[in-house]
Amino acid sequence: MKQFLFLIVMLAITFKSLSVLLVGPVPLERDSLGYWQLSTLVMQGDIFMMEAPIAYRTPLYPWFLATLRTAAEKDAIWLITLTQSLLYICTVWIAANLALKITKLPNAKLITACCLLPAVSAIQYTAAILSETLFIWLLLLHLTAVLHYTQNPSTGRAVWSATTFSLTVLTKPIAIMLWLAHLFLLIFYIARRRNIKALKQSNFYKVSHAAASIMVLACMISPWLIRNYLLFDKPVLTEFVGRNLWIVTFQGGSGSGLPYPETTASYELRRRVQQNQEEASPRPTWTVSNQLVASGLNDAQTDQIMRKVAFEAIADHRLDFAKKALRRCINFWRSPHTDLLAQGRNTTTFAPQNSWANPSKSIEWLLSHRVSQSVAGNTFLASMAVISLITLVRNKATTPGALWLGIIFAYFSIITGFLEIPDYRYRMIVEPLVGTTIGSGIAVLLSKRLLTAVAV
C-alpha cells in the first residue's frame, strides 16, 4: 500500500513538472546565453572551450547541452528541458530514498515525497538553460553514494562516490569542499563500529578505497585543470571567488557596502577601469570585470585582482563585513523568491530551434501561490528542518545521518552567505534535502507514537 501511495505521489509530481514545462522555455539571456554559446563551441569540436578563455565556468553543463543539441538538432530545446524535467523527478525520488536509507523506516520515503509535492519554484528551472537542475540531481546522487559507502564500504562504492563527486564539482565548483561533511560521517561510523565487539577486528575502510577514489578524481578533474593551466598558467578548477567577493564586499543592501581600500592593488584596479580616485563608490561587478579584461588582463588575472582588492577592503572593516555575512547566512534560508522566470516569452531567441508557448491559468495560479515567495513561509520551512534535525539527532539510529545533513546545510549556507547575495536560486540546491530532513523527522516521530500506542 505504501509503495502504491508513493507511486501516486510521484505521478502527481511528474504531471505537475510536465505541466510547468509545457508553458514554454525560458529565453536565452545572460547565464543561459553563455552556456548555450559554450555548448556551441563544444559542438564545433572545441571540447575544452579553448576559444572561450574564461575561468569562471566548469565544463559539464556545456557538454551536457552539446550532447543533447547534437542528438536532437532543431528540437534540442524540447529534449534539453524534457531531460531536465525528468532529472528533477529523479531528484525527488532520490531524496525520498535517501530518507528511507537514513531512517530505515518505510514511511519516510512516502512522507518525503509528500513534503516535496507542493514545491513548484524549482520546476521552472527545468525549462531554463541553467545548470541548477543537473547539479542538484548529481549532488543527490553523490550524497546517496557516500551514504551507501559509509554504511557498507567496498571499492566499487568508493569509486562511485568519487565519480559522482567529480561530476558534481565539474558542474558547479561550490561542492568542492563538501568532502569535509563526508569525513565527519566516516569518522562517526568508524567510532561506532569500534564500540561493537563483533566489528572491532573488521577492516571496513581500507587504504585501497581511498587510493581508488583519488585516482578517479585525478583522472576526471585533471583535464580541466590542464586546460586552465594552458590558458591562465594556473591549474585551478575555476577562478570566480574574486567576482563573488566583489559583490558582497562593495555592493550595498545585503552587501557590506565598503569603500575602496587605500592600497597599491586598489589604485591599479581603478587605473585600469579608468575610475577617478575621488569616485569612492566601487562600480558594479561585471562592469569592473569587463573593463579589467578590456585593459589587457585575462579572465583569471581579472578575478585575482578583484579578489585582492576585496580582501584588502575586508581587512580594513572586518566587523562590518562579518555582521553582513552572518546576516546573509541567516537570510539564505529566508530570502523570498520574488521574480519568476519568463517562461514562454521571447521564444524567437531560440531561432532556428523549435520552441513553444502554452500559457496556463492553473500553472500561473500555482506559481503565484508558491511558498518560496514568502519570508514567513521560508522561515517556517527552515524551522521545520531544524526541529526535524533535532528529532533525528536525538534518535540514536538516525544520529549520524542527521549530523551529516546538518553539516551539509551549514556548508551551503555559510559558503553562500560569505560569497553571494541571498537568492532562491542558491537555496534551491538544498530544497530536496530539506524535504528529506522533514520527511525523516516526521517518520521518526510517527514511529515513536505507534510504538507508544502498542506499549500501552
Alpha carbon 391 to its chain's center: 26
How far is it, in rounded angstroms, from Cα 283 to Cα 271? 13
For 260-295, what is each residue's pLDDT tens digit?
999 999 999 999 998 766 666 788 899 999 999 999
What secondary structure letter does DSSP report for 345? S
Are 412 and 430 in contact by the 8 Å Cβ rule? The answer is yes
How far apart, in Å, are the Cα atoms of 273 and each of 266, 267, 282, 302?
Answer: 11, 10, 11, 11
Give the model's pLDDT for residue 194: 65
Which amino acid belongs to residue 392? L
Q: Would the pLDDT of 387 be above 70?
A: yes
For 206-265, what is each residue's pLDDT tens digit?
788 989 999 999 999 999 999 999 999 999 999 999 999 999 999 988 899 999 999 999
pLDDT confidence bin for 453, thresholds 50/70/90:
very low
Average pLDDT, the chain: 91
For residue 305, what are the contacts with CB-CB under 8 A and spacing of at least 6? 242, 265, 268, 269, 292, 297
Are 161 and 146 in contact by the 8 Å Cβ rule? The answer is yes
Alpha carbon 436 to its chain's center: 16
How far apart, in Å, are the Cα atoms of 182 and each of 37, 144, 288, 406?
Answer: 35, 11, 38, 12
Give the model's pLDDT for residue 48: 97
Sign of CA dihedral 131, 136, 137, 142: positive
Q: Residue 453's CB: how many other CB atoms inside 10 A?
A: 8
Percent of the chain residues topping a pLDDT of 90: 79
How far is it, in rounded angstroms, from Cα 158 to Cα 211? 9
Listed residue (108, 89, 87, 90) closest to 99, CA to CA: 108
Between 195 and 118, where is the model more confident? 118
Q: Would the pLDDT of 203 be above 70?
A: no
How far is it, in rounded angstroms, from Cα 398 to Cα 74? 49
What secondary structure letter does DSSP report for 295? T
For 70-125, what is each residue's pLDDT tens digit?
999 889 999 999 999 999 999 999 999 999 999 999 999 999 999 999 999 999 99
Are 250 and 282 in contact by the 8 Å Cβ rule? The answer is yes
Q: Residue 410's CB: how many other CB atoms inside 10 A?
A: 12
Give the model's pLDDT for residue 360: 87
Lowest-confidence region among 57-61, 99-103, 449-453: 449-453
Which amino acid belongs to residue 13? I
Q: Three cell numbers at 350?
A: 531560440
Give the model's pLDDT for residue 296: 93
For residue 206, what are the contacts with CB-CB under 8 A and spacing of at least 6? 153, 155
